[in-house]
C-alpha cells in the first residue's frame, strides 16, 4: 500500500489509503469478472489517453507523437491522472458504441 501511495505521489493518510484500496478493488473486479466477458458483448476499442494541464501542453505532446515519440512513455511522464499515468495512459477496453460519449469535447 505504501509503495502505491508513493508511486502515485499521494500522502500516506487514511483517506488516500482508502482511495487506493478502492481503486485496487475496482481493478480486481474488472480483471476477474468483467474483462473476460467484454469481447462477448460488444466490439471493443482500447483506450489510451493522457490528461494534460493545458492546450499548449497538449499541442506539444501531439508534436512529439507525430515525430514518433512513444505514447506510453509520454503519458507516464506527463499525465496528471495518476492511475492511468502508471499504466502508460492505458484506460483499458471500452465498447465502441459508448466511446464517443466518454470522450471530452476538446481533444487534440
- My answer on whether 32 and 79 are in the same domain is no
Q: Which domain holds residue 10?
A: 1-36
Question: Given this model, what pLDDT does residue 84 score?
Answer: 78
Question: Given this model, what pLDDT does residue 103 score?
Answer: 65
Q: Please report, for the domain that includes residue 100, its CATH number.
A: 3.10.50.40
Q: What is the DSSP string of 64-84?
A: HHHTT--HHHHHHHH-S-HHH
Task: Using the structure block, give the residue that is written with the C-alpha cell 483506450.
Answer: 47
Instruction: Please state the domain count of the chain.
Output: 2
- My answer on whether 7 and 49 are in the same domain is no
* Number of other residues whose CB lies within 10 A of the CB of residue 23: 14
Question: Given this model, what pLDDT does residue 38 score?
Answer: 62
- My answer on whether 3 and 31 are in the same domain is yes
Digit-by-digit pLDDT tens for the chain (108 residues) are 788 788 888 888 888 888 888 888 888 888 887 777 666 677 888 888 888 989 999 999 999 999 999 999 999 999 988 877 888 998 888 887 777 666 665 554
Question: Given this model, what pLDDT does residue 33 score?
Answer: 79
- My answer on whether 54 and 105 are in the same domain is yes
Amino acid at each position: 500500500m505504501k509503495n502505491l501511495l508513493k508511486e502515485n505521489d499521494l500522502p500516506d493518510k487514511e483517506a488516500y489509503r482508502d482511495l487506493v484500496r478502492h481503486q485496487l478493488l475496482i481493478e480486481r473486479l474488472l480483471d476477474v469478472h468483467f474483462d473476460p466477458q467484454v469481447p462477448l458483448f460488444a466490439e471493443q476499442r482500447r483506450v489510451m489517453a493522457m490528461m494534460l494541464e493545458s492546450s499548449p501542453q497538449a499541442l506539444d505532446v501531439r508534436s512529439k507523437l507525430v515525430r514518433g515519440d512513444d505514447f506510453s512513455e509520454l503519458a507516464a511522464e506527463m499525465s496528471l491522472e495518476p492511475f492511468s499515468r502508471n499504466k502508460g495512459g492505458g484506460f483499458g477496453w471500452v465498447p465502441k458504441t459508448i466511446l464517443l460519449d466518454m470522450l471530452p469535447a476538446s481533444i487534440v
